[in-house]
Amino acid sequence: MRCERSVGKMKVTVVGAGNVGATVANVIAMKNFASEVVLLDIKEGVAEGKAMDMMQSAPMLGIDTMVTGVTKDYAATFGSKVVVITSGVPRKPGMSREDLIGTNAKIVREVAEEVLVYSPDAILIIISNPMDAMTYLTLKTTRLPRNRVLGLGGLLDSSRFKYYIARALHRAGIPATLTDVDGMVVGGHNDKTMVPLVSYAAYRGIPITKLLSPEAIEEAVKETKTGGATLTGLIGTSAWYAPGAAVATLVGAIVTDACKLIPCCVYLDGEYGEHDLCLGVPVILGATGVERIVDVSLEGGEKAAFKESVKAARETNAALTEALR
């Protein structure tokens, strides 16, 4: 496996200057691993204004990254190493991610084709919902190598899983912080299809099954699965702080060639016994994108849940095909 850490600062594009896109750009800028971030939107002045606001905070936050906002000017994205696609309609209360499939599919396909005109070697990160299907769509329509197309999913859901585990530990009298907790979610980025891996969850190396009751663990799993919907119900739209930070983490792993183990949505071609679909699994992420897919052992209920996730992903892909006819 190639993991040489020799990559310098470079250019990143974020398409979509809404809550998630703007947060992605801001977190990337604050981390100072890219030389330039281009924030692009279709609404006149929005990306320019948000980029200007970020840049005016730079002297106070020690930001060296240059953030530039543009309206529909894809030429400004020329030479991007990574392109993040957040474009599309966000969820509203009561909506599932799959409700967005027809509208967002057309938007994501057009954006992917446009950015590749100016950055043909870019690695694409898909955020738009339903994310697993949009990642699959992007891979199929662009015909890029599978290492260069990935979706957010797993990292965000894993972070939410850690949050709910830490909260359960607190309730059990164990003062855990989120950085004390290990937890991973695989499967679909969907309330019903994500698979929090309890068998791999731990508090400072101690399995949570030795610290929490089965009821507390079951509740943490349930809360993880409905975490996105919970936030949508509370704030009236999709979340943005945690998704933005998660995307920036993926970008950082690529730009710095970190070769980090991160769960995200990728195309499976034999891994986990599956073919021709995109689903969340752990991968090694580095300068070429997906360096390697890590095939972890799934047993019992987790294996069965993953199979159900595969089934649901195939059904969504079928609906995607129908929507694009």
Dmax over Cα atoms in the chain, in whole Å?
A: 55
- In the chain, at which residue ranges do the beta strands (DSSP E only) sit? 11-15, 36-41, 66-71, 82-85, 123-126, 149-151, 181-182, 185-187, 194-196, 202-203, 206-207, 260-269, 275-286, 289-293
Coil, helix or strand at residue 42: coil
Cβ–Cβ < 8 Å for 1, 291: yes
Give the Cα separation of 67 and 228 in Å (integer): 28
Residue 130, exposed/middle/buried by CB under 10 A (0-12, 13-18, 19+)?
A: buried
Cβ–Cβ < 8 Å for 108, 128: yes
Coil, helix or strand at residue 236: coil
The answer to whether the peptide bond before residue 130 is cis (omega within 30 degrees of 0) is yes
Angle made by CA atoms 314, 135, 113, in degrees to the nearest 5: 130
Phi and psi at residue 165, in whole multiples of 5°?
A: -65, -45
Count CA atoms closer than 13 A to 305's CA, side-chain side. 21
Token digits of residue 163: 């949050």
Query: How do strand 82-85 and strand 123-126 relate by DSSP bridges?
Result: parallel
Cβ–Cβ < 8 Å for 51, 25: yes
Catalytic residue among 189, 193, 223, 225: 189
189 is catalytic: yes
Catalytic residues, which ones?
Answer: 189
